[in-house]
Structures are given as structure tokens and as C-alpha cells.
Structure 1
Amino acid sequence: MSCNHTKGAQYYQMYWYRQLPGQTMERVVFTTFGTTNDFGDFSRDKFAATKPDTDRGTFTVKNVQPEDKGLYFCARCANYEAYFGQGTKLTVLEPGHYITGPTVRVLPPSPKECKSTRKTIVCVASGFYPDHVGVKWNFGEDTPRETDSAALREDKYYTITSRLRVPAEDWFTLGKKFTCTVSFFNGTHTEDYSHSIYGVKANLTGLTREKYLRITQTAKFSYGVLIIKSSVYGAFVALLVWKLQSSAGKQND
């Protein structure tokens, strides 16, 4: 793995860290330009690091094993602050497992969201190995979305889901396209796998969302008025009966 500092900047130190699955980040080696590397508790038989000049450095994992799977980071220090790179993901293919691209499906919103101002569109990528994937949508970054932080392992393969929350008026626009694209690194290059669904004009009753909300609100109001009228009428009848009973009682006396 290689790491480059800002070109021309005189940073003489470089640090290499690793983060194994489910564990915290730990420093493997500290390198300084022109001096011996400090591996701390780690073995030089397992790792190697070089810093040939002030701009760049390299890090090597020797004789890789499945337990070496994880994220590896480089960092440099300036004024006592550490600045990290985005990291490199290392995967060691397991015996009997073959590199397999994902199957991507985009699912429409649930009918239970009929009264919601937003619709949740779900993208599911499944059946891939290893878990070198990224998910993106054909909508602006300001549209709420949530993608699983890590792919879920199911037997030999992985699954990952992403949810996009679009305004209801977008979903109720006939023919509007919603596309989910999953990028998959197959060991040599990255391939894109996509699937799309399209917005609908109306729900199953033939009503647009706006009309449906107006009708339900009107119905609620009418029902409330009916309840009030019924209560008033019931009170009037009760009062009338009470008066009749009082009159009958006076006549008997």
C-alpha cells in the first residue's frame, strides 16, 4: 500500500494503522525519513514499511492470512495533530469462495406510507463476494438516505441495503425514474450494477395523494360534526322525556 503527503510539504513522519473487524484502530509502525522504523509490538517478519522521501511512504503485509482482513490507514502529523487518509480495505479471499457480482433490486414504497409526506424506496444488493461495494442513487445529496454501514454476511455471500426518502410528489409523478447503482470491485476494476423503478400517477384507488388527503380530512370533519349533532339531539330528547315525566307526575298528584 502506498501513501502520499501533500506534494512539497516537509513532513518527515508517517504512521500506519490497522483496524480489524469489530476492533479499535491500532498503530502498527511509525516511520521517519532517513531513520529506522519503529514497529512497537508488531513483528518485522509480518510487516514492512518504507519512507524514501518526505512526500511518500509504503506499507506491506507479508504472507497475508484471513485474519489480516481489515482497514489500513496512513497518517502524518503536523503541529501535534494527526491527519489520516481514507484508508485501504484489505480482503483475503477464502478457500472455495469465488468473486461474484451483486444482484440489485429496487423496491417501491410500502402501502403503509400512504399518509406520509415522503416515500421510502429501498435498494437491495445481494449474492456478492467479497464485500467491496458502494451504493449511490440518482438523486441529489440533500435527499435523505441511509445505507447499511457494512454488508451482512449470509452463508458465502453478502447483502447490503440502502433506503432513499423522496418527497411524495416525486413518487406520484408518472414515469419519474429512481435508480440505485452498486459499484463492485472485482479484484481488477470496479463494475456498476444498476436497477430502476418508476413513479406512479395514482394509488390503487385512482386518487392522487393530495385528493386522498383532502377526502380523508373532509370525512373526519363530517364525522365530527355528525357526532356533535347526535350529542345535541340526544340531550334534547333526554330533556323532553324528563319534562314529560315531570308533567305526568304533577297530574298524578
Structure 2
Amino acid sequence: MSPTTYGLGLFFILFPPRVTCAEFHQSPSLTVKERDHVEVHCSHNDNSLVVMLWYQQKQASPAMTLIGYGYSAQEPNYEGLFAERFQLKRADTLTGSLVISNMTSADSAVYFCAASHTVGGASQAYFGGGTRLTVRESGLLVTPPTVKVLPPSTKECEDRNKKKKKTLVCVATDFYPDHVTVFWRLNGGANITDGVGTDNTALRGNKLYSITSRLRVPAKKWNKASNRFTCTVRFFNGTTDIYVADHINGEEGQGGDGGITTEYYVRSTKTAKLAYSIFIAKSTFYGLVVMALIWKFQRSSDKQM
């Protein structure tokens, strides 16, 4: 690696990429077979960003590896072995692409397009959102996930600030490849972002993937039977997005914000009537006992006189 490209790579490690004004468009998620070739497209809207760079980020590593870079009117520069099967194309200043040929499973990664005013120095780079590329392994078929929403634990404790919370868990299993996005909704509304925690990456076991997501909600929302909590998994099958969902309804309980239900009112009324009947029966019995004692005491007094 030349001193210039080494300094460029070090610059992006010390200063993580940020997009502040340039708007990028990259190819969506891609799924291909081994030995195929693929072209990842990229474009942006800033004519002053004359240098286009491409990076590869493997799932097992948070670091990005520079593939190569170039100006629109010059031959691109490649890093190491990337020159053998990787090709950088530039149609003009605003558009370019990365072509990978004779692909293997080792090429599965996220590929980032970036642009800068110059190479090296303190020139800031602007990044696209990345393209997740999966080279499908031989013998494995594209398989959408199975989704299940699990209810909160009945033994879940209060949090530190004494506000009761309930945790719902969404489990997506047995899918391939791992091109998934998980999101939650309440009663079909907008996507929930507050209280959501999703695994950073899907876990692989027995060749297929799984991922979990957790939603923490106030107990009063869970304690309302009409509330429907839906977990949806968006899965890219190589051609289009497939949506697989499961839902669970809240359970009516104390602290709910839905008011007193008919069932709860009837149950409470019956309980109150039963308690009142027992109270009347006991009071009548005690009254009869007292009257019997008084009568007996009077009879005893009359005999002594």
C-alpha cells in the first residue's frame, strides 16, 4: 500500500464517515450465486466531489477496507488483491459503479461508496448507506423467516425509576440469507422507535439465521386488551422485499388505561354482592346470639327474684 492510500485509510479510521450535505444513492441489497458477477451502482449530487472511493466491510469486522479510488477522467487505483477481480467504473463525476467478477462466498459483505474533493490530507469524505451483498452458498435456498412474538414475563421487575415496564420479544428464525430488518408497530400505526432493541446482526446456526428484537412498553399500555403489538420482519429474497409479521394483544389488568371493562365490572359486582351477603348473614347470626344471651340472662334474673 502506498503512503498516500495508507494515510487515506488511517484518516477514515480516525474520523468515522458522516454525510452532512451530499445525497447518495446506492444499489439495494443484492443476492447472487457463486461464480456470478455483480455491479453495484452509486450516485451523488455534488459536482465538487470529484474522487469516488469504494470500501468493503465484512460482517465479522467493524473496520472498512479500502478497495480503490479514482477521478472521473483517470484510471482508478486499487488496493492489493482487489485489482484481480474488482473493477471501478466512472460514467461521470456524479455516477460510478463497482463490478465484482467470479464471486465467492468470501465476497459477502457490505460495500460502501464514498466521495471526496481530493485524495488524502484533511479532505472530508461523504458516504452512501452501503449495499449488503450476499453470495449464496451452494445447496442453500433462499428461505424467508418464521416470526413469533412472545409475551412479557409475569415476574418482570420494575425499573430503577419505579416505572413499571413490560418487555415483548420478537423472534425471527430459520431464514437465509441475512437480509432482514425488524420493526414494531402499535395498532397499525407508525413504526415504534422508543424502547426498541434489536440484535446488531443475525446469528447463524445450522446454516440458517435468526434474530431477536425486544420492545419495552409501559405496563399501562400492555394492560389494555385492545392494544395490538405487531412485529414485522422485512426480508429481501434477492428480487423483492417480503414482509412476515406476527402480533400479540395486551392483557387487561390493573393499571390499564382502558378504563373498567364490562367483564371486570361484572366480576367486581359479584364479588361485592357475595361479600355483602356474607356480612349480612354474619350480622344476623351474631344478633340472634346476643338476643339469646340477653333472654337467658333475664330468665336467670327472674328466677333469683
Matched, 1:136 2:183: yes
Unaligned runs of 5+ in 2: 1-39, 257-305
Rounded Cα–Cα distance in structure 1 between residues aligned with 2:251 and 2:180: 30
Asked whether the equivalents of residues 5 and 56 of structure 1 are also in contact (C-alpha less than 8 Å), the reply is yes
Which piece of structure 1 moves more, 19-28 or 165-174? 19-28
Matched, 1:124 2:163: no
Rounded Cα–Cα distance in structure 2 between residues aligned with 1:41 and 1:94: 25
- Residue matched to 1:73: 112
Correspondence for 1:41 among 80, 85, 93: 80
- Residue matched to 1:156: 207
> 1:115 Cα shift?
4.6
Asked whether the equivalents of residues 17 and 73 of structure 1 are also in contact (C-alpha less than 8 Å), the reply is yes
> 1:72 Cα shift?
0.5
- Residue matched to 2:152: 109
Matched, 1:91 2:134: yes
Rounded Cα–Cα distance in structure 2 between residues aligned with 1:130 and 1:43: 24
> 1:9 Cα shift?
2.4
Q: Secondary structure at the match of 2:106?
A: helix
Asked whether the equivalents of residues 10 and 55 of structure 1 are also in contact (C-alpha less than 8 Å), the reply is no
C-alpha RMSD over aligned residues: 1.6
Matched, 1:55 2:94: yes
TM-score (structure 2 length as normaliser): 0.64
Correspondence for 2:235 among 172, 184, 189: 184
Higher relative contact order (CA 8 A, sep 6+): 2
Asked whether the equivalents of residues 128 and 158 of structure 1 are also in contact (C-alpha less than 8 Å), the reply is yes
**Cα distance change, pair 62–142 in 1 and its aligned pair in 2 (3 A):** closer
1:123 maps to amino acid: C
Q: Secondary structure at the match of 1:138?
A: strand
Q: Deviations over 1:143-179 (max 9, x none)?
A: 2110000001110211100000011100001121000
- Residue matched to 1:173: 224
Asked whether the equivalents of residues 16 and 73 of structure 1 are also in contact (C-alpha less than 8 Å), the reply is yes
Matched, 1:13 2:51: yes
Q: Deviations over 1:60-103 (max 9, x none)?
A: 11111011111110101147111111101111111111111100
- Residue matched to 1:227: none
Q: Deviations over 1:116-146 (max 9, x none)?
A: 6110000000011110100000145452110
Which piece of structure 1 moves more, 76-85 or 188-197? 76-85
1:32 maps to amino acid: Y
- Residue matched to 1:28: 67
Rounded Cα–Cα distance in structure 1 between residues aligned with 2:79 and 2:200: 31
- Residue matched to 1:219: none
Give the total of aligned pairs: 204
Rounded Cα–Cα distance in structure 2 between residues aligned with 1:153 and 1:43: 27
Rounded Cα–Cα distance in structure 2 between residues aligned with 1:130 and 1:142: 25
> 1:209 Cα shift?
4.4
> 1:46 Cα shift?
0.7
**Cα distance change, pair 201–4 in 1 and its aligned pair in 2 (3 A):** same
Matched, 1:193 2:244: yes
Asked whether the equivalents of residues 2 and 57 of structure 1 are also in contact (C-alpha less than 8 Å), the reply is yes
1:157 maps to amino acid: L
Q: Percent identity?
A: 41
> 1:105 Cα shift?
0.3
